Amino acid sequence: MAVIKPENVEDFYDIGEDLGRGHFGQVRQVCERATGTVWAAKFLKIRKTACSRLGLDRSSVEREVEVLQALQHPNIVILKDVFESRAEVVLILELVSGGELFDFIAEKENLLESEAIEFMKQILEGLGFMHSKNIAHFDLKPENIMLSDKVSPHPNIKLIDFGLAHHFHQGVEYKSTSGTPQYIAPEVINSEPLSTAADMWSIGVITYILLSGLSPFQGNTDEETLRNVIAMSYEFDSRYFSMTSSMAKDFIEKLLVKDPTDRMTAEECLLHPWIKPI
Ligand SMILES: Cc1ccc2c(c1)c1c3c(c(C)cc1n2CCCN)C(=O)NC3=O
């Protein structure tokens, strides 16, 4: 059960600059008064009544807290504390100050496959750990893959924003149609029972973008994008993939598979020849 302190976050932290928005909440930098340590604070508005349209159900916040409390891994953001006062829950999270992975890549001329592999390895290590605990992220996308710092030649990847994450329990089906159209798996769109394999589809999309700068299924509207996902209509356009290895394309093809049970798992990805050459 999530441990939520019935205290005011401002009694312990100085609230700093706005860092942007995570899933369903504003994120700000905060400074812990007792230690001077800087953290990220995610502010979640809680629904006042069951029929209120504004804010989140408390149960969905408790789910995010429970998931984060179960996950201690170098490639997953740490949850330090949780406060609740009035109609707001505040998650105190590890500050991942290197910004989003894709901003880091956008600043470079181009990304070598060897650099892409290093990033994918860390993403897969974090995801493999989550999946080993029967937890799926369900919102994997470039905005939720961040770097611990910008200056290191080999920055550390951190997965963030577990607002849509789910902890599977034996024999209990789970369906959801939430997510971001460019990255969601066909079974999400078709409202079929979900599994950790839905994250692996997103990894296939993210790898495709990492290597080409293109989004494989993106259309002019969300509806068009969703139709492209269902139709599995993507290709390796030679104008963008002429320098990409066949191993990299094989890695992507083994993830963008319609049947979730036929997709590579995170563990299988880490053993794929593109990631772990023989
Ligand atoms: C330096 C920086 C800038 C923006 C940040 C964050 C950190 C950040 C963080 C987190 C979340 C959920 C959202 C965050 N955002 C919002 C945008 C995330 N794609 C978080 O959990 N730790 C962060 O540092």
Respond yes or no: is residue 57 known to be catalytic. no
Q: What is the pLDDT of residue 104?
A: 79
* Residue 95 Cβ contacting ligand 1 at under 6 Å: yes
Q: Which residue pairs from 55-60 have beta carbons closer than 8 angstroms and sit at least 24 positions apart in sequence?
A: 55/87, 56/24, 56/25, 58/89, 60/163
Question: In sequence order, which residues have a C-beta less than 8 Å from that of residue 219 and are 6 or more positions away?
Answer: 225, 227, 228
Phi (first) and psi of residue 233, to 5 degrees: -90, 95
Its pTM surpasses 0.90: yes
Q: What is the pLDDT of residue 193?
A: 94
Q: What is the pLDDT of residue 153?
A: 77
* Residue 64 Cβ contacting ligand 1 at under 6 Å: no
ipTM greater than 0.95, yes or no? yes
* Residue 96 Cβ contacting ligand 1 at under 6 Å: yes
Handedness of CA 57, 61, 64, 66 (dihedral sign): negative
221 DSSP 8-state letter: S
pLDDT digits (tens, 9 = 90+) for 48-77: 776 777 778 888 888 999 999 999 999 999
Q: What is the pLDDT of residue 86?
A: 80
Residue nearest to atom 17 of ligand 1 (CA): 20
Identity of residue 231 = A
* Residue 211 Cβ contacting ligand 1 at under 6 Å: no
* Residue 22 Cβ contacting ligand 1 at under 6 Å: yes
Q: What is the pLDDT of residue 110?
A: 67
Q: Are 16 and 28 in contact (CB under 8 A)?
A: yes
> What are the residue ranges in the chain where pLDDT is below 50?
none
| 232 alpha carbon – ligand 1 mean position (Å) | 32
| 161 alpha carbon – ligand 1 mean position (Å) | 8
CA atoms within 13 A on the CB side of 50: 0
Residues in the chain: 278
Spatial distance between the Cα atoms of 235 and 258, rounded to a whole number of angstroms: 15
Mutate to test the pocket of ligand 1, among 23, 27, 78 (most ligand atoms within 8 A of CB): 27
* Residue 160 Cβ contacting ligand 1 at under 6 Å: yes
Question: In sequence order, which residues have a C-beta less than 8 Å from that of residue 166 and are 6 or more positions away?
Answer: 63, 67, 135, 136, 138, 174, 176, 194
Q: What is the pLDDT of residue 50?
A: 67
Tokens of 163: 């607002």
Catalytic residue among 14, 103, 139, 222, which?
Answer: 139
Spatial distance between the Cα atoms of 127 and 140, rounded to a whole number of angstroms: 10
Residue nearest to atom 1 of ligand 1 (CA): 97
